[in-house]
Amino acid sequence: MAEINAIITQIGYPNNYYSFHKVKDSDTTKTYRACTIGHWTSDEAYKLIHDNAKYKAWAEKQKDNNAVFIADQLYRKMYQAN
């Protein structure tokens, strides 16, 4: 997450970022052991970030390792309250 969050800051959106959470190893749950949360200030910021060439290049490079694409993971898209 640090790499993509740095890219998001670099392209001008420091208040937008991803966070990643996972359950403790001792937890016995079988599904949804991890959760990636996207924190976005607006729909417009989300679109501009995800349409940016630097973001797209990172996503392509990471498509096999990116937490967003891991099976059995929950993804939440959150927006800052105004």
pLDDT confidence band for 28 (50 / 70 / 90):
confident
User: Phi/psi at 52 (nearest 5 deg)?
Assistant: -70, 140
State the pTM of this model.
0.75
Q: Round the average pLDDT of the chain to a whole number and report it.
A: 83
CA–CA separation, 51 and 37 (whole Å) = 19
Q: How far, in whole angstroms, is CA 38 from its chain's centroid?
A: 5
Q: What are phi and psi of 35, to 5 degrees?
A: -145, 125
- Nearest to residue 77, comparing CAs of 15, 5, 17? 17
Task: Read off the pLDDT of residues 37-76 as tens digits, 9 standing for 90 and up.
Answer: 889 999 999 999 999 999 999 988 887 765 554 555 656 6
